[in-house]
Amino acid sequence: MSARMGRRVVTIAPFWNRMPRFFLYPLMTPAIYALFGLAVINGALLDLARGGGGGVVTAGVVSLVAALFSIKYGFHILEETAHGRLEPPRLNRATMVEGYELPFKQIGVTLVLMILGVGLTFVWLPLVIVYGIAVVALMPAIVVTLALERSMAAALTPAKLFAIAFRIGWPYFAVLGLVILLNGGSATVMSLFGDALPRAAEAFLGAFTQNYFLFAIMHLMGYLIFQYHDRVGFAPETLAEQDDGWGEILDPVRHDIDAGHYAAAADRLNGLIREYPDHRIELRKQRHQVLRLGDDERTLVQNAGTLLGDLVDANRMREAAEVYIDITDIDPELRPARETDYEPLLQILVQRGEYRRAVRMANGFHKTYPKSQSIPPLYLEVARVFAEFLEQPERAAQIATFLDKRYPDHPASARARALREALMS
């Protein structure tokens, strides 16, 4: 996967805020047409096969073609979603006829993985269990890599697959869990309703639900790459830069990234920051993305610290929170460089559900900045987080008592006292 730098900043909704839409996606046109078409074919093939002879052969061929199409269309969904196109692909000639190499490559990848698994049984049986767990854990990365790079070799390269998983981090493994659950969705539906239906209706429902969950899974995995494209070095086409004169300026940066020369790309961007100070935030954000692809953590943290202050000053708090999360994933002890950045950052971290990260950031603030006017409101929010989200009322009461004693006349202390009394009642 390669990254193309752009000046435009686009906010992408987190996948956890779009969960209902992943289940509605297969029911949107034209995906719903594909679902019904494949289900009707599956139901009709049952009657065709009952005729025996040539009917069995014809049913088998048609069934294979339908299965290949459903897999191919699923890959198309993943690719389109990864590029930021959030509506199902059209059922045009290109969709119907082209791109069938991907299902065969997926089959090839599966066979290679199975052969390796069988081979490991002759080496050491417990190793097969470890191998099986690794394959399951990396399956989304395998499918994504195959869809976007169309290369079996890339989809079977452990370093590339682990890089995708760990650069995305916990969201990858959250999606993995969802994929595992959704993968059993069709079997669950059939166990509840399939036995009560006629055989043709059962075949129809089986194909419909199987492809429904396949399309939902592919859409979910594609959106994961769309949301975290910067972490894996992928460039969604819908986020490509506009023709505003920056393409030519940033082309050398893109070439360095494509060649894997991340340090050189970061140096070029640093020069552009000095040359175009009015665009320093966007350029520094892009430098942040490039530095994350390399291994120079010191420069990454330095750049992120400056970027954090610029984003806070511009009131771009959600982006500031993303940067802070990035650098504290590297070093949990890192703190904002300015005392005025703590309070707005803590609020946005709490909104994102990063409760422990928020209280860790505020820990010891009164010692670092003993005269700061931000201490009472900051610590009041920390007390609320302990009480409401972390279920640690004792810690909340301790902070409330501290505020009451140290800042008795501050408005935040009155709210702290009320919080403490509510916890003790």
Q: Is the pLDDT of residue 51 over 80?
A: no
Q: Is the pLDDT of residue 152 over 60?
A: yes
pTM of structure: 0.58
Instruction: Name the residue with higher pLDDT: 51 or 382.
Output: 382
Query: Are the C-beta atoms of 48 and 57 separated by less than 8 Å?
Result: no
CA dist., res. 255 & res. 330, Å (int): 27
pLDDT one-digit tens code per residue, 189-215:
999 887 788 888 888 999 999 999 999
Q: Is the pLDDT of residue 78 over 60?
A: yes
Domains of the chain, residue spans: 15-232, 241-334, 359-425
pLDDT one-digit tens code per residue, 260-290:
888 999 999 999 999 999 889 989 998 998 8
Q: Is the pLDDT of residue 229 over 90?
A: no
pLDDT one-digit tens code per residue, 330-347:
889 999 999 999 999 999
Percent of the chain with pLDDT over 70: 92
- pLDDT attached to residue 44: 83
244 pLDDT band, cuts 50/70/90, is low
Nearest to 220 by CA among 256, 171, 276: 171
pLDDT (average), residues 47-56: 62
Q: Which of 48-52, 300-304, 306-310, 373-377 has the lowest mean pLDDT?
A: 48-52
Write the DSSP string, 278-316. Answer: GGHHHHHHHHHHHHHHSS-HHHHHHHHHHHHHHHHHTT-
Query: Are the C-beta atoms of 228 and 16 separated by less than 8 Å?
Result: no
pLDDT (average), residues 376-389: 95
CA dist., res. 285 & res. 273, Å (int): 10
pLDDT (average), residues 347-374: 94
User: Residue 374 contacts by C-beta under 8 Å, 6 or more apart in sequence?
Assistant: 339, 340, 342, 343, 365
Give CB contacts under 8 A, 24+ apart, made by 330-338.
Answer: 330/297, 330/300, 330/301, 331/297, 331/301, 332/360, 334/301, 335/361, 335/368, 336/305, 336/308, 336/309, 336/312, 336/361, 337/305, 337/308, 337/309, 338/309, 338/312
**How many residues belong to the chain?**
425
Q: Is the pLDDT of residue 28 over 90?
A: yes
- pLDDT attached to residue 7: 39
pLDDT one-digit tens code per residue, 88-146:
999 988 788 887 899 999 999 999 999 999 999 998 888 999 999 999 999 999 999 99
Cis peptide before 30 (omega within 30 of 0): yes
Q: State whether residue 244 is helix, strand or coil.
A: coil
pLDDT one-digit tens code per residue, 157-179:
999 999 999 999 999 999 999 99
The CATH code belonging to domain 241-334 is: 1.25.40
Q: Is the pLDDT of residue 423 over 60?
A: yes
Q: Which of 47-51, 159-163, 224-228, 317-321 has the lowest mean pLDDT?
A: 47-51
